Amino acid sequence: MSSSVTPTSKPVKTTGLHVGDAAPGVRKVDPILIADGVRRTFGGLTAVDVEHVEIPRGAITALIGPNGAGKTTFFNLLTGFDKPDTGTWSFDGRSLAHVPAYRVARMGLIRTFQLTKSLALLSVMENMKLGAKNQVGENLFRSLIPSIWRKQDGEIEAKAMELLTRFKLDAKKDDYAASMSGGQRKLLEMARALMSDPTLVMLDEPMAGVNPALKQSLLDHILDLKASGMTVLFVEHDMHMVRHIADWVIVMAEGKVVAEGDPHKVMENPAVIDAYLGAHHDTDLGADSEHVEALKELIDDEQ
């Protein structure tokens, strides 16, 4: 399987993103998103407790960690879909604390969801057009007079068509989004996010449930985002993909950032191995020799 997801061209990695040693919370040369003391508890469970983390601009950053590490919760907090107990975080120098989700999106920070949220009974084209920002026709009173919004709507449609062609969904433009396969919906969701010309795209498990052939094209699309100047932050479990396209990796475990670094080095970090495999993964629990010896002696004594 791994071989089938390898893109044809080798992606160009961005390096020199951090200042000093690659430790958790390391400073970045040009951070786009900075989070400080973000903490979220659900009853007695601390889901996220991030002291300090910076996301580098213009690069692809992967957020990895075992299940339950708090990656998706952290995503929700950053995008205004959930409110933290404490903490401050800023995007492009503007504070995002207490900013509702729709305003976060308007600032240029667009996210996708782990379970795709395509608008099922809207056509693919309508899904795309919904993604465009600052539409005059979205005001109730202006919507009544088509001549006010028709021109802009035409421009939006042209742009949507261009993106759909790029994502090879143009043939489906008049179908209901509900009629598409899971992988196509992932593509649609990503294309829709691009309608607003975001500066930071946050993808929550873009590869989950996608077949290898489609993974290939999704990978290329993510690399394209970087090439066109966007910053990408994504959550992913597929380590091969992370190694392949990420410029920087942030590892979370039990709500905390436990390691950071470039994808090849970070995988060798003991904290990362502990997070995934447990701290005692190389201890032999099967035969405890000391006890066995003691037991043998006891038996001998009795005889």
Partner 1 sequence: MDWGAIFGNAAVELISPTTAAYALAALGLAIHFGYTGLLNFGQAGFMLLGAYGYAIPALKLGWPFWACVLTALAASVIFALILGIPTLRLRADYLAIVTIAAAEVLRLIFTTNEFRAVTGSANGLSEFQVDLLALNPFPPGRYGFGPFVFDNRVWFFLVIAWIVVAIAAVFTWLIMRSPWGRVVKGIREDEDAVRALGKNVYSYKIQSLILGGLLGTLAGILFVLPRAVVPSYFQPTLTFVIYAVLLLGGAATILGPIVGSIVFWVLLSFFSGFVSRAVTAGWFPFMTQVQAGQLRFILVGVAIMLIVVFMPQGLLGNKKELAFVK
Interacting residue ranges for partner 1, rule: CB under 8 A = 79, 81, 100-103, 105-106, 110-113, 117-122, 126-127, 129-131, 133, 135-140, 143-144, 146, 149, 153, 176, 178-179, 192-193, 195-196
Nearest to 73, CA basis, from 98, 99, 29, 42: 42
**Inter-residue contact 131 to 194 (CB < 8 Å):** yes
Nearer to partner 1, 90 or 196 (CB): 196
CA–CA distance, 181 with 174 (Å, rounded to integer): 15
Cβ closer to partner 1: 54 or 189?
Answer: 189
Q: Can you tell me whether residue 123 is helix, strand or coil?
A: strand
As measured in angstroms, the least distance from the Cβ of 102 to partner 1 is: 5
- Closest approach, Cβ 75 to partner 1, in A, equals 11
Q: How far is the CB of 145 from partner 1 (least distance, A)?
A: 8
The whole-angstrom separation of Cα 84 and Cα 49 is: 10
Distance CA 235, CA 251 (A): 10
By C-beta, is 88 or 123 nearer to partner 1? 123
Choose between 51 and 157: whose C-beta lies nearer to partner 1: 157
Output the smallest distance, CB 198 to partner 1, in A: 10
Number of neighbouring beta carbons within 10 Å of residue 130: 16
Q: How far is the CB of 77 from partner 1 (least distance, A)?
A: 14
Q: Kindly tell me which of 1 and 121 has the beta carbon lying closer to partner 1.
A: 121
Query: How far is 99 from 285, CA to CA, in rounded Å?
Result: 50
Query: Smallest distance from the beta carbon of 235 to partner 1, in angstroms?
Result: 15
Integer Cα distance of 30 and 47 in angstroms: 28
Q: Which of 190, 198, 79, 75 has the alpha carbon at shortest distance from 133?
A: 198
Q: How many CA atoms lie within 13 A of 118 on its CB side?
A: 25
Query: Cβ closer to partner 1: 7 or 137?
Result: 137
By C-beta, is 62 or 125 nearer to partner 1? 125
Number of alpha carbons in the 13 Å side-chain half-sphere of residue 30: 7
Least spacing, CB of residue 111 vs partner 1, in Å: 5
- Do the Cβ atoms of 248 and 58 come closer than 8 Å? no
Helix, coil or strand: residue 68? coil
